[in-house]
A = this chain, B = another copy of it.
Amino acid sequence: METKLAQLKSLLIEASNLEAAARLLAWDRNTYMPPGGGPARGRQIATLRQLAHEKWTDPQVGRLLDDLGPYAESQPYESDEAGLVRVARRLYDRLCHVPSWFMADFYGHTSVTYEAWSQARPENDFGRVLPYLKKTLDLSRQYSGYFSDQEHVADPLIALQDYGMKATTVRDLFAQLRQELVPLVQTITAQPAADDACLRQGYPPREQLAFALEIVRQFGYDLERGRMDETPHPFTTYFSIGDVRITTRVQEHDLSEALFSTMHESGHAMYEQGICQDYEGTPLARGTSSGMHESQSRLWENIVGRSRRFWEGTYPRLQATFSQQLGDVSLDTFHRAVNRVSRSLIRTDADEVTYNLHVLLRFDLELDLLEGTLTLADLPEAWRARMEADLGIVPPDDRDGVLQDVHWYTDFIGGQFQGYTLGNIISGQIYAAALAAHPEIEDEMAQGAFGTLHGWLVENVYRHGRKFTADELITRVTGRPLSIEPYVRYLKTKYGALYEL
Contacts and interface: CB of A to CB of B under 8 A. Distances in A.
Given A21-B25, A28-B28, A37 B242 contact: yes
A479 interface: no
B240 A35 contact: no
A32 to B, nearest CB: 6
A192 interface: no
A13 interface: yes
A13 B222 CA distance: 38
Interface string A7-28: 0000001100110111011001
Contacts of A32: 32, 227, 229
B36 A243 contact: yes
Nearest to A39: B242
A239 interface: yes
Contact of A36 (B13, B229, B242): B242
A200 B387 CA distance: 68
A34 B224 contact: yes
Given A21-B48, A25-B21, A48-B17, A40 B239 contact: yes
Interface string A35-53: 1111111011011100100
Q: How many copies does the complex hold?
A: 2
A226 interface: yes
Contact of A44 (B21, B225, B229): B21
A222 B17 contact: no
Contacts of A245: 34
B239 A14 contact: no
A281 interface: yes
A225 B47 contact: no
A43 B24 contact: no
Nearest to A31: B32
B227 A40 contact: no
B281 A37 contact: no
Interface string A209-251: 0000000000000111111010000000001111101000000
Given A21-B21, A47-B17, A38 B242 contact: yes
A125 to B, nearest CB: 32
B281 A36 contact: no
A41 B281 contact: no
A196 interface: no
A280 interface: yes
A377 interface: no
A329 interface: no
Contact of A243 (B20, B34, B240): B34
A313 to B, nearest CB: 27
B224 A41 contact: no
A244 B46 CA distance: 20
A47 B240 contact: no
Contacts of A28: 24, 28
A225 B43 contact: no
Nearest to A22: B21
Which 3 A-B pairs rank lowest in CB-CB distance, beginning with the nearest?
A: A37-B243, A40-B240, A36-B242
Given A34-B226, A44-B240, 14 more contacts: A13-B43, A17-B47, A17-B48, A20-B44, A21-B25, A24-B28, A32-B229, A35-B225, A36-B225, A36-B240, A40-B241, A41-B239, A41-B240, A51-B51
13 contacts: A17-B48, A18-B47, A18-B51, A21-B48, A24-B24, A32-B32, A34-B223, A36-B224, A37-B243, A38-B242, A40-B240, A40-B281, A44-B240
